[in-house]
Amino acid sequence: MSANSSAIRWAVPNVDDAPLESVRFHGLKTGPKLIVVGAVHGNETCGPNAIVRAIDDCRAGRLVIRRGEVTFVPVANAKAYRQNTREGDRNLNRDLRERPLPVDNEDRIGNPLTALLRQHDVLLDIHSFRGEGKPFVFFGPEDNAGELEAFRHATAEAAFAACLGTDILIHGWLDIYVALIAARERLALPPLAVTEGFGTTEYMRFAGGYGVTLECGQHDDPAAADIGHAAIHNALVHLGIAVRRTASLHSPMVDAALPARRRPAVIHMNDLVICETPGDKLEGQWRTGDSVTAGQPVARRVDGELVSAPRDGYIIFPNANAKLGEAICYLGVRSARGA
């Protein structure tokens, strides 16, 4: 197996109800337990490609697992991965929970996946996105005892997010999902439950750990797997689970430190533009992470009315094909939270 290949596909059985396969490495000293997950969405292949390479690194000694454990789940959603589709029957990264009576593909995956998450302290979930944009990391809320997402590992999670190597970190997902629900209610559209916003990282926080979602860039960009692969290395070294070994002039292999990184920009996702009528669309060519100034048009209603950014900030997840009740784009501002 080539250590730098991004074209290798993880093999999954061509059967319904394929098992959830994992590869685990145990250090010989105590330490944290990390789980790395790919292909929660089946057409986001950077995760499996990055994880395959990381497994090979562990076996070849380029990564040496010394403390704790790391569990790799290259393909969480085998059905969607085989089909090269985002979903098998529905979105696995929505309403993720244990179900005594599973009714669809994602329900059946969710039961063993949530059990695996409960066995670990930290999650790295590797994704990509449809449009163009800069890689970024989604992380969670500040420490709080609230109803929506009580949490107590904000400092550790933010540091973990910052170590992964992207220049952008974003927080605010569940709050903005509540805003999307309210916007749909104003339009008298079928209601969404707040639990629909709960995916792998939200479940990990609920279970007592912490976790982040790494968005490696565009689905079909070969560099996306490189970003995921580097992030896995960074995560393992940052948590003290592994040392990274590289060749030098004086020794065949030496311990390598984390690369120096610039301080990432931290964005609070705090607003959205919803498709209120079929035909509402983006105004202009936007990419995730693009800066926007107050008053700059970002969308156009079907009747021609322009929708402008209410304040200086950033565009997140622009959707050129938004359907009724979906977000045309999300908006963010510079966050007061440090990385």
Question: Is residue 106 one of the residues assigned to a domain?
Answer: yes
Query: Which candidate, 331, 338, 339, places its Cα nearest to that of 172?
Result: 331
**256, 281, 303 — which closes off a domain?**
256
pLDDT surpasses 90 at 31:
yes
Burial of 24 (0-12, 13-18, 19+ CB in 10 A): middle
How much is the pLDDT for 259? 63
The CATH number assigned to the domain holding 94 equals: 3.40.630.10
On whether residue 241 sits in a domain, the answer given is: yes
Residue 273 and residue 209 share a domain? no
Residue 4's pLDDT band, with cuts at 50, 70 and 90, is very low
At residue 2 the predicted structure's pLDDT band, cuts being 50, 70 and 90, is very low
- Burial class for 23, CB neighbours closer than 10 Å (0-12, 13-18, 19+): middle
223-238 and 154-163 helices cross at what angle (nearest 10)?
130
Q: What is the average per-residue pLDDT within 220-245?
A: 95
- Reply yes or no on whether the pLDDT at 120 is more than 80: yes
Residues 130 and 234 in one domain: yes
Question: What is the CATH classification number for the domain harbouring 293?
Answer: 2.40.50.100
Domain end (from 256, 283, 312)? 256
pLDDT for residue 325: 97
Whether residues 131 and 197 share a domain: the answer is yes
Residues 238 and 286 in one domain: no
Average pLDDT of the segment spanning 284-305: 96
Q: Are residues 293 and 217 in the same domain?
A: no
Judge if 205 and 288 occupy the same domain: no
Q: What is the pLDDT of residues 272-281, one digit of tens each?
A: 999 999 999 9
Q: How far apart are CA 111 and CA 330, in angstroms?
A: 31
Amino acid 131: pLDDT: 84
Residues 6 or more apart whose CB falls under 8 angstroms from that of 322 comprise: 275, 280, 281, 282, 328
pTM: 0.93
Task: Report which of 63, 76, 147, 144 is spatially closest to residue 105, judged by C-alpha positions.
Answer: 76
- How much of the chain exceeds pLDDT 70, in percent? 93
Domain-ending residue, one of 256, 276, 305: 256
Residue 69 falls within a domain, yes or no? yes
Q: Give the model's pLDDT for residue 247.
A: 57
- Domain of residue 324 covers 265-334
pLDDT of res. 275? 98
Q: Would you say residue 32 lies in a domain?
A: yes
Q: How many domains does the chain have?
A: 2
Instruction: Work out the angle between the directed axes of helices 223-238 and 46-60 (0-180°, nearest 10).
Output: 50
Quick one: pLDDT at residue 339? Answer: 54
Residue 9 lies in a domain: no
Mean pLDDT of the chain: 93
pLDDT score at 174: 97
- Residue 15 domain-assigned (yes or no): no
- Determine, yes or no, domain membership for 1: no
| 183, 306: one domain | no
| pLDDT digit string, tens, across residues 46-95 | 999 999 999 999 999 999 999 999 999 999 999 999 999 999 999 999 99
pLDDT tens readout for residues 132-168: 889 999 999 999 999 999 999 999 999 999 999 999 9
Indicate whether 97 and 54 sit together in one domain. yes
pLDDT at site 329: 97
148 close to 246: Cβ distance less than 8 angstroms: no
Return the pLDDT at 1. Answer: 39
Between CA 49 and CA 47 the distance in angstroms is 5
Pair (248, 181) in one structural domain: yes
Please indicate, yes or no, whether residues 241 and 304 belong to a single structural domain of this protein.
no
Q: How far apart are CA 41 and CA 128, in angstroms?
A: 9
